Amino acid sequence: MKIVFTIQHPAHVHFFKHPVKRLSNDHRVTVFVREKDVAVDLLDEYEIPYEVLAGPTNSVTELALTQLRYESRLIRKARRIEPDVMAAIAEPGVAHAARLVGSTGLIFTDTEHATVQNRLAFPFCDVIYTPTCYRNEIGSKQVRYPGYHELAYLHPDRFEPNPDVLAAVGVSEDDPLVVLRLVSWDAAHDVGKSGFDRTESVVSRLEREGAQVVISSESPLPASLERRRIDIPPHRIHDLLYYSDLFIGESPTMATESAVLGTPAIYASSIELGYVTELSERYGLIFEYTGPDRQERSVEKATEILNSTSETTWSRRRERLLSDKIDTSEYVIQEVLRHG
């Protein structure tokens, strides 16, 4: 069987890395990439062969033009390969290419507010896979499964944390560790959205509680915070999240990664997502603040967690989550094989 996977974001590398490696044992698997952040670095780290079809972008306008170039190249490549299955995360190019070359197009998505991408992709693909907590009803193509994208690579059957990461970032095991994540808000589905607006105030408050704060940021930081920027290979961030006492930030993906690893997460953003809400309301592993007072409420909750909860609280909640959810990578593998 001939299979094509496409990558347009670092998270897509994590999501597909196990299916790519497993399916490559018995099938012809091709990976195409549009460069974004550290996606190519991760593919290199995981020793996954790939071909770059388009470079990075710096604006929404440039993104649209780059996507057109990327899609035209993808269609040409697909015509030569004639794949049986093409799979991607919320990616219109795969849906269009699969339809044109007679392949089965599989789309995985968990992002309700990616309305432009969804409208361009959904009518042309064959199957749309969403977590059970996805808020929207898409129609007959939608297949719901009891998992999260993040469990494709952070399910305990897939991930073994390495404590050496603490020394790599120069933090002590004796003091509480907080990971703060700031996003750039330049994705097409993030335009007009926002999270924190006074980052220095957030860090100052957390450090007054005795926490060590390290920062992962897609954008430049104020000079006073630059020394707290995390400087580790991108694939080590999940080790750091596992050994942290708390995550706080604007990224729903990293909040969810923390939650499924058993690290309490505070998500501060104007964006609401079904999987974040489920992890908040059903499992108590994410604390979600989306209103205009999200920064103040997030910091208040952070100080409460740092001062009053134990590790057993979060480990019990994680065990409950894992008992309800599946290994998403195994699910992806079986679905690709079923449609091939």
| pLDDT digits 0-9 by tens, 41-66 | 999 999 999 999 998 877 777 888 88
pLDDT in tens, 221-277: 889 999 999 999 999 999 999 999 999 999 999 999 999 999 999 999 988 999 999
Question: 160 in a domain, yes or no?
Answer: no
DSSP 122-168: TTT-SEEEEETT------TTEEEES--TTHHHHSTTT----TTHHHH
Specify whether 170 is located in the same domain as 317. Answer: yes
Beta bridge partners of 214: 179
Specify whether 318 is located in the same domain as 226. Answer: yes
Specify whether 334 is located in the same domain as 320. Answer: no
DSSP secondary structure code for residue 263 in this structure: -
Residues 171, 173, 175, 180: what is their CA dihedral angle, to the nearest 10 degrees?
A: 50
Domain that holds residue 137: 2-155+326-339
Specify whether 132 is located in the same domain as 174. Answer: no
**Number of domains within the chain:** 2
Specify whether 81 is located in the same domain as 8. Answer: yes
Measured between alpha carbons, how far is 252 from 233 in angstroms, rounded to an integer?
21
Question: 123 in a domain, yes or no?
Answer: yes
Specify whether 25 is located in the same domain as 44. Answer: yes
Give the domain CATH number at 277.
Answer: 3.40.50.2000
pLDDT in tens, 65-86: 888 999 999 999 999 999 999 9
Question: 235 in a domain, yes or no?
Answer: yes
Specify whether 314 is located in the same domain as 333. Answer: no
